Chain A
């Protein structure tokens, strides 16, 4: 828990950096727009309709859409003004959150201004106010409680939705939640949820107190709430200029997808680069799978680890299989270099492939060691797979080649899948071959004796141009090539998932062992177990 709390200031600041400016900009756009709509009624369907449509886009999808949109915009702004916009990280999350905050404020501004008693508007004209004075002295003050209610709704939404910006590479309190769910660290999830909820509540109450204080002319309350809000804004604003003194050298940015192995590997890469080159590094964690690749391709990420089979199947769209692991690797290298200019630094030495797993004792009882052995037992058995497994080409290939007429197919969350097979709820699961939980739950992986599943070599990818601009980074990573075998990776994953260690600590221990016993070492000691 204290480990998680140590991360809190950083994540909280990042969360504020995302959500407060988004809320302020949303208000600066939608309050004037709302007022304009009340003056020119013809605009209302278009303006409010557009904002409503934005609101109906699921927030996670809106965030994801912003990645390619901003990457495309970035090339335009770079050409026009020399300012590149990054497609991942702060920019897409900020834009999406701003869009998300528009509707409640806009709608309440329109409702509030239109709800002002017409007799009072006429009285305002009658005493000699110009239209501008009517708005400023009568309509806006009377509409203010309704407008502020919209602002408060938007504030709660924006702070809540900001936790979803982790997969597009923006740090927020969501990092606790995403990594916590993946590494089964529920302290982290708890810290993230509670902090986000408290932040939303605090902001909501401060805005409410400020509004009611102004309306009821309670000077003390206005000072207190206004002061607290101003301090929050000032702190957020100032934090943008506090870069930790990294200077103008852009840190080496290392991405990771949202599962334990990826967190550990990104830490290993980051620590190795920092140790060998002294360059600052930045980890962008819990990225969506396609977001990571897109970000590397357009240069927002410098490095991340992907798997040869993923590129083979999803990017190259190949369903055939070459004879050897090496042939796939070579084909993938050629494809990434030719089509995208991406450098494959090297294979780390292990595969993390889809594999069918069973409880060791059950497999022994039935005499099942290979997938071929499974086919005659299948009608009596139940299989569990993760969200995508039964849609993937691997599963279709397995079913075609081996003939696996299972009694029942069940789609479930990976975290529950392992537990389900261990407790006998299902008989077979789509396991990940390096998952630490295979050893923890005493499972065995069945041999793909007909060679249907493509090899999933873990490979380090470098963005186009990195080899030329920072050759020392690639050189620093060379010792890692072939240095991690499947057993080592499994143990490291288990240290995080099972023993609750931090990915960074596990990575550090691995690198220390690698130094004393260079390649092909990869056998980190696992004290305490």
Chain B
């Protein structure tokens, strides 16, 4: 369970995140949705203190995150980066093994865990283990990045547009895969995206942010049916508009 209470981040005169309150239940996936600059990534980074809050509190399972040194806190929280951020001087197995090794796991346990994770992200351990990140396709890199985030068996996972950099077909496969995996592992997750379809597909609940403020939190159908804000309504209308446009296109090109 993650609780954000009155959480704010200011850079000089600019308020990036403004007094945010949010609660993510155990096993739940909440999507932070909004356009660029709305404060969603900053909010995510405040949860594992990659960004230190200017004010407010983050609690994980009731425990204030400031009670732990930041590196130790981060080792307990999986993090998937938008730019993936695989270390180019380490091979696939070493990239996945980083956090377990920082935690001082015994080597056999690390090795077993790496193979199990590679299988989980649908990569063949024997073929992939010793490949360099530069030898992988974009989709494979994303999978390794997710395996690295899950390596130390975290209960909380933070994902920052993890499927942003791959082609639509790969993205679709990865999204469906992730939906299954996170239920299987019972992960408590916060997922940042600006993609409405992705939010609707993956989120148990969606938190819509705009200019650092939380506009509305709710299940996808709540947001679709009862938008609390004009901007939420506008945002929710986009997938339907796109679908209608596609339908119209198909109708026009079908032989009559």
- Where the two chains meet, the residues of A that have a C-beta atom closer than 8 Å to any C-beta of B are 119-120, 122-130, 133, 137-138, 141-142, 215
Contacts and interface: CB of A to CB of B under 8 A. Distances in A.
10 contacts: A119-B85, A122-B50, A125-B71, A127-B74, A127-B99, A128-B74, A133-B71, A138-B87, A141-B89, A215-B89
A73 B145 CA distance: 57
A129 B74 CA distance: 8
A516 to B, nearest CB: 75
Contacts of A133: 71, 102
A124 B102 CA distance: 11
B165 to A, nearest CB: 12
Given A123-B85, A123-B87, 10 more contacts: A119-B81, A123-B81, A125-B71, A126-B79, A126-B81, A127-B99, A127-B148, A129-B102, A133-B71, A137-B98
Contacts of A215: 89
A126 B74 contact: yes
Nearest to B145: A123
B118 to A, nearest CB: 17
Nearest to A144: B89
A126 B71 contact: no
A137 B87 CA distance: 10
Contacts of B87: 120, 123-124, 138, 142
B85 A122 contact: yes
B226 to A, nearest CB: 36
Nearest to A216: B132
Contacts of B81: 119, 122-123, 126
A451 to B, nearest CB: 78
- Interface of A, helix, strand, loop or mixed by DSSP: helix
Contacts of A122: 50, 81, 85
A122 B70 CA distance: 13
B89 A127 contact: no
Contacts of A130: 71
A408 B196 CA distance: 91
A386 to B, nearest CB: 58
Contacts of A127: 74-75, 79, 98-99, 102, 148
A128 B99 contact: yes
Contact of B72 (A123, A124, A128): A128
Contacts of B86: 123
A127 B74 CA distance: 6
Top 5 closest pairs, chain A to chain B, by CB? A123-B85, A128-B75, A128-B74, A119-B83, A126-B79
A142 B102 CA distance: 19
Given A122-B50, A123-B81, A128 B102 contact: yes
A142 B88 contact: yes
Interface string B88-124: 1100000000110011000000000000000000000
A201 to B, nearest CB: 28
A125 B88 CA distance: 16
B142 interface: no
Interface string B62-83: 0000000011111110010101
A92 to B, nearest CB: 41
B143 to A, nearest CB: 16
B188 interface: no
Contact of A120 (B70, B85, B102, B152): B85
- Name which of B73, B74, B89 has the most chain A CB atoms within 10 A of its CB: B89
A138 B74 CA distance: 17
Contact of B85 (A126, A128, A129, A141): A126
Contacts of A128: 71-76, 99, 102-103, 152
B48 interface: yes
Contacts of A142: 87-89
B101 to A, nearest CB: 9
B113 to A, nearest CB: 14
B154 to A, nearest CB: 10
Nearest to B102: A128
A141 B88 CA distance: 10
Contacts of B75: 127-128
Contacts of A137: 98
A307 B134 CA distance: 71
- Name which of A122, A123, A133, A137 has the most chain B CB atoms within 10 A of its CB: A123
Contacts of B98: 127, 129, 137
A125 B102 contact: no
B74 A125 contact: yes
Nearest to B91: A217
A126 B102 CA distance: 12
B99 A125 contact: no
Contacts of B73: 128
Contacts of A124: 87
Contacts of B72: 128
B61 to A, nearest CB: 18
A141 B85 CA distance: 15
Contacts of B74: 125-128
A142 B87 CA distance: 9
A126 B89 contact: no
A82 B76 CA distance: 57
A122 B82 CA distance: 11
Contact of A126 (B48, B76, B103, B152): B48
A126 B41 CA distance: 13
Nearest to B148: A127
Nearest to B103: A128
- Name which of A128, A130, A137 has the most chain B CB atoms within 10 A of its CB: A128
Interface string B45-60: 0001010000000000
Contacts of B148: 127
